[in-house]
Chains A and B, each alone.
Chain A
């Protein structure tokens, strides 16, 4: 069955960087667009980034534009999110999800805490 497993979260100081990964299995990763969605503690869901199946098109939320970079390695069935210039308001659980217009399958999430 479809599995999405995020990793790479942790505690980082303001201004720091992290790289999140999402390992996919159970479907043909190279034919699906992929998303990152985040959820701050006690808050709702916020879409963060999208990458087309071939990496040829990327979109970002205004809140992360210029600071976050989404990428993928189809040979490894893995999605990435590079988080730079992190701020306290980036503290959240980050989920990856596959794209069907809607978010069909979700990973369990990885927690990023930005704190000094």
Chain B
């Protein structure tokens, strides 16, 4: 089972700043099959990124994903007020099981 470790646990930033979220896999993720989701309080998760770097339909281009070996990064270039939320990574290459990271909360500083 691939274990995903996200860091930091909480990121305190101001609107307009750049956010960099990390997700490290315990082993290689097949074919860059890594997704990112955003979840706001009381809402279901929403797909942002799949295949490590492909934006889902309707996702603004301030969201981008990248990878380097077993390290994956979600970058939000300039935080908008609606971007403050919890973000999860998930691997979909070596399944089952489908596994998630523990989440990173992006909060207003």
Q: Does the CB pair B50–A101 fall under 8 Å?
A: yes
B90 touches A44 (CB 8 A): no
Q: Of B44, B95, B101, B103, which is in contact with the most chain A CB atoms at under 10 Å from its CB?
A: B44
A94 smallest CB distance to B (angstroms): 11
Instruction: Select one of B33, B44, B46, B56 contacting A101, CB under 8 A.
Output: B33
Q: Are B100 and A102 neighbours in the complex by a CB distance under 8 Å?
A: no
How long is the Cα–Cα vector from A103 to B96 in the complex, in angstroms?
A: 14
Residues of B within 8 A of A (CB): 33, 35, 37, 39, 43-47, 50, 56, 88, 90, 92-93, 95-103
Q: Is the pair A106, B44 in contact by a Cβ cutoff of 8 Å?
A: yes
Taking chain B's interface residues, is the majority helix, strand, or loop, or is none over half, making it mixed?
A: loop
A25 at the B interface (CB under 8 A): no
Write the nearest CB–CB distance from B35 to chain A, whole angstroms: 4
Query: Closest 4 interchain pairs by CB?
Result: A102-B35, A101-B92, A106-B44, A59-B96
Interface members, chain A 23-64 (any B CB < 8 Å):
35, 44-47, 50, 59-62
**Which residue of B33, B50, B97 is within 8 Å of A47 (Cβ)?**
B97
- Neighbouring A residues of B47 by C-beta, 8 Å: 102-106
Point out which of B90, B98, B102 has the most chain A C-beta atoms below 10 A from its C-beta: B98
Whether the pair A103, B102 counts as a contact (CB closer than 8 A) is no
CA distance in complex: A10, B45 (Å) = 21
Does B100 contact A100, Cβ atoms closer than 8 Å? no
Closest to B56 in A: A104
Between-chain CB contacts (< 8 Å), 7 pairs: A35-B98, A50-B95, A62-B97, A101-B93, A102-B33, A103-B47, A106-B45
- A50: B residues at CB distance < 8 A: 95-96, 98
Q: Does A13 contact B (CB under 8 A)?
A: no
Beta-carbon nearest neighbor of B90 in chain A: A102
Query: Are A44 and B102 in contact (CB-based, < 8 A)?
Result: yes
Which of A102, A103, A107 gathers the greatest number of chain B CB atoms within 10 Å?
Answer: A102
> Which residue in chain B gives the minimum CB-CB distance to A58?
B96
Closest-by-CB residue of B relative to A105 is: B47
Task: Verify B97–A109 contact, CB threshold 8 A.
Answer: no
Is A108 interfacial (CB 8 A cutoff)? yes
